[in-house]
Amino acid sequence: MRFKGLFISILAGVFWLLCGLTRPAYALTPVEIADLSYKACPAEYGGMVAAGSIQEARCYLIVGKAINRSGKPVTNTDIFGRIYDANDNPVMQNRTRLGSIGEVPPGESPFELRVSVAANQPEPLQLKQFKASGFSGQVRR
């Protein structure tokens, strides 16, 4: 009788492992960021205020190339980086995730990312340590 219980437990464990192995695993896929620059947002974006306050802000578009060398589309691509003003003060305190660019096909793709900068932070802005990563398959949210 004990042998039958042990056999059923082992069989259940093997079944559980096999079922778990058939699901695809989606690892984080790095995406290179190149040719970074920024420009003021077009007038149709309108006036802005800084998040969580009534402080006036300026709108900028960070533009560049996303380079996907994985050979597969990368989805849910988050962009990380640091932005400093002309005095080396951080534009976004304690925050390195700046936004996302959705899907990046294999190869090089242009991208743009909208950011708000407090109006009292002087230009030129400095864009540093930019990188991106996403998933090579659809991720449930």
**How far, in Å, CA of 49 to CA of 114, rounded?**
13
Helix, strand, coil shares, percent, the chain, to 5: 15, 50, 35
What pLDDT was estimated at residue 123?
A: 95
- β-strand pairing of 56-68 with 107-118: antiparallel
* Whether CATH 2.60.40.10 fits 28-135: yes
pTM, to two decimals:
0.72
Q: Are 72 and 131 in contact (CB under 8 A)?
A: no
Q: Are 130 and 30 in contact (CB under 8 A)?
A: no
Q: In this predicted model, which residue has the larger pLDDT, 91 or 52? A: 91
Domain ranges of the chain: 28-135
The pLDDT-based confidence of 102 (bands split at 50, 70, 90) is confident
When pLDDT is averaged across residues 16-34 and rounded to a whole number, the result is 69
